[in-house]
Every structure is written in C-alpha cells, then in structure tokens.
Amino acid sequence: MPLRRTKLIALLPLAVVLGGCNFVVLDPTGDIAAQQRDLLVISTLLMLLIILPVMALTAFFAWKYRASNTSAPYTPEWSHSTQMELVIWSAPLLIIICLGALTWMGTHLLDPYRPLDRISADQPVPADTTPLDVEVVALDWKWLFIYPEQGIATVNDLAAPVGRPIRFRITASSVMNAFYVPTLAGMIYAMPSMRTELNAVANSPVDSRGFSANYSGAGFSQMFFRFRALPDADFDSWVAEAKASGDHLTRAAYLELEQPSQNVPVRRFSDIDPTLFDAILNLCVEPGKMCMSDMMAIDAKGGLGMESVANVLPLTYDKHARRGTVFGGAPSYVVGICTPGELSTALTLSAAAPARRGESGPVRGAGMTPASLPLPVLTLPAAASPFVPIRLPSSEALAGSRRPSNS
C-alpha cells in the first residue's frame, strides 16, 4: 500500500503540468483557424470509428480465447467468411472515401492564397471591405511586420482589427521559417526570394502569441512575437503609438536590423521605405545590387551581351558577408573575361575592323536601351594574363569570332 501511494503522489506533478496546458489549437478566435480545428476533429473522429472497434475487439478476442477458457469454440479448419470480409473491407473503404472528400474540400476552401468570402459562419465579408495588408519578413531571429497602408512597421509585435480580413505577404531574409499564429490560421512557410500569402481574420479580441514553426538556427527557440486582435478604436491607438516612435525604417536601418540577434524587444517605426519589402524579396536592399526581378527580365530578353559588361562590372552580387548571417567574405563582382588565346584573336579582329564605339551605358528597364558611353578599361592581374591594360572591343568587332567563355 505505501508503494502504491508513492506512485500516485509521483503522478501529481504531471497532473499539475497538464493542467497548465493551453489548447489554443482547439479553441481559436479566427474563422480560418476554427475551420481547420473542425477539419482536425472530424478527421480524428472518422479514424476512431475504425481504431476503437479494432482495439476493443483485440482485447475481447484475447480474453475470450484465452487458454483457460475451454468452452470457447475451436474451429481449426475455418478459413473464410463472406460476412467478415465484407465488414473488414467495406468499413475502412467508406471512411477513406469520407476522409478523401473532406480533405479535398478543405484543401480548396482553406487555401491560404484564397481571398476570404466570410468573416464567420453566419457573416459574409461586406462588399466594401478591403483587407488589411501586412508584409511579414522572417529575420534571424525575429519578425518584421510592415503595414503599407498605415506607413508603419514593428518588430515582434503584430496587431489587427477584429472582423477585418488580413492579407499577409510573407518572405524571409536568409533561411526558411514558418509563420504560425495558432489563434488566427495555420502555418505557412517564409522563404528567401519567394513570397507566400495567407488570408485570415480574427473574430474576437485576443492577446496571444505567434512563432516560427520551422527550426532556423541558434535563436529559433526565442523567435516569438505578440499577436493582438483589437477593436477598431484600440487598433487606431496602436497605430498612433507606432507613429509616435520617431524611428524610420530605411534600407540602411533594415540592413542593421537584419543582423542575427536573439530575444529582441518590441520595436516600432513611424515611417517606412515603401519599396523595402520588394527589395527584400528581390535580394537587392544594398546599394549597387541588381534586383532579382530585373535580372530575370534581362534573361528573358536574351541576356546582357558584350555591350553591357560595364553595366554589371560595379554590381555587387553575393550578400555582404552573406547578408543576415555570420559567415562569408568580401563582396564579389560579375565580369566577363576572355582567355589569353581568345583575347589575342579578338584584338587582331578589332585592329583589322573599322574603329567603332560600342554602347556600354546602363541598361534601363525592360527594354534595356543602353546609352552610348565609352567602353571601360579593364586591367587584368599580372598572374592571370601577360597582357597590359586593354580597351574591350565592341560586339561588332568581335563578329564572326567565337563567343568568349567565362572564367
């Protein structure tokens, strides 16, 4: 008896710990999270229709056909029962069909990119309602929230008015994270140079917590942020508080903010660079960095060609010390260069051809119309080539020769 009492007392701490659990996933305040909760509960109940009978029958058969029960029927020649086969195969098949239909509908109705068509089960979205746009950037190891409509930004502090749809545009600075607010909606990944979206709504006031649900490094365990759903008047006061901070989120301020840090307190910015999020998305926050979207447009037009060597020579491509991380070296540059043999052939052709001046001005926009500027002088290291500083020939002078290779 004393041993049994000791075991029961040892279980008390476990009961205390479980008593402090917050079943927030099963008690959300957002309509999207509530629908996801219903999908989880219904799927679990459907699966229990098979699991519970199987577990019960396993215990029943073990008890009924125990060795000491000599009155149990013994039929060693039994091999088939049509009725048993019908039950064994039809019940799981029906449940799988129900689960498949439920999953298919839920996948489309709860698509994170799908604009909301209702605030709650009995309240559609009013026709004149515009969503609240929030741009989310996962940093190491903190969250940046940009409000383009309000012209403010916050760090580790997210707020939204009750009953107004929220449209999140989500990306990351360096590594992949997962944006997750259990009271609001399911998680969605935040990835560098990619933009994901999430549409959600808060149906009642709440003060909860969001976090990253994907391991992202040393400070991952402290990568939390506060989420509040506020009445309209309180949300306006929250915006006014942010506007009174006096800090400005410029590109230079962002480059300082994105350096790895842990346990970052809440910060607010009263003014933002309106182009910052697109620059983060296209990996071109630093001065002198070509945006990914511009590079893709150039590639779609067929590439730069020899005329634009001067355009890319001063551009920084890799991140400064791998922007946002602790590793990496000095910035590198993009330059086209020829082997000594190809360069000698090109110079011979250039000397034989009429003197022409190439167009090497900056590329402008999708049309890539260059301005006529003198070609630059490119100095080759002595160890790389025996040639002295040269002037690059134009593309017309190189016509008919083999295209130079990269090295």
pLDDT in tens, 265-317: 999 999 999 999 999 999 889 887 888 888 888 888 777 777 676 667 667 66
Lowest mean pLDDT of 58-62, 332-336, 350-354, name the range. Answer: 332-336
Strands (E), 251-389: 267-269, 271-272, 377-378
The structure tokens listed for 167 are: 């449209």
Q: Would you state the pLDDT for residue 340?
A: 59
Give residue 101's pLDDT band: very low, low, confident or very high (50, 70, 90).
very high
Helix/strand/coil for 178: strand
Q: Quote the pTM value.
A: 0.70
Say if residue 219's pLDDT is above 90. no
What mean pLDDT is reported for the chain? Answer: 78
Say if residue 172's pLDDT is above 60. yes
The structure tokens listed for 11 are: 């279980």
Give residue 11's pLDDT band: very low, low, confident or very high (50, 70, 90).
low
The H or E element spanning position 253 is helix 251-257
Cα dihedral across residues 270, 251, 227, 19: positive or negative: negative
Say if residue 353's pLDDT is above 60. no
Q: Would you state the pLDDT for residue 391?
A: 44
* pLDDT, tens digit (0-9, with 9 covering 90-100), for 249-275: 999 999 999 999 989 899 999 999 999
Q: Would you state the pLDDT for residue 112?
A: 92
* Whether 185 contacts 198, CB under 8 Å: yes
Hey, what domains does the chain have and what are their CATH numbers? 120-281 (2.60.40.420), 286-407 (no CATH)
The H or E element spanning position 121 is none
The H or E element spanning position 192 is none
Cα dihedral across residues 291, 297, 300, 304: positive or negative: negative
Q: Would you state the pLDDT for residue 407?
A: 37
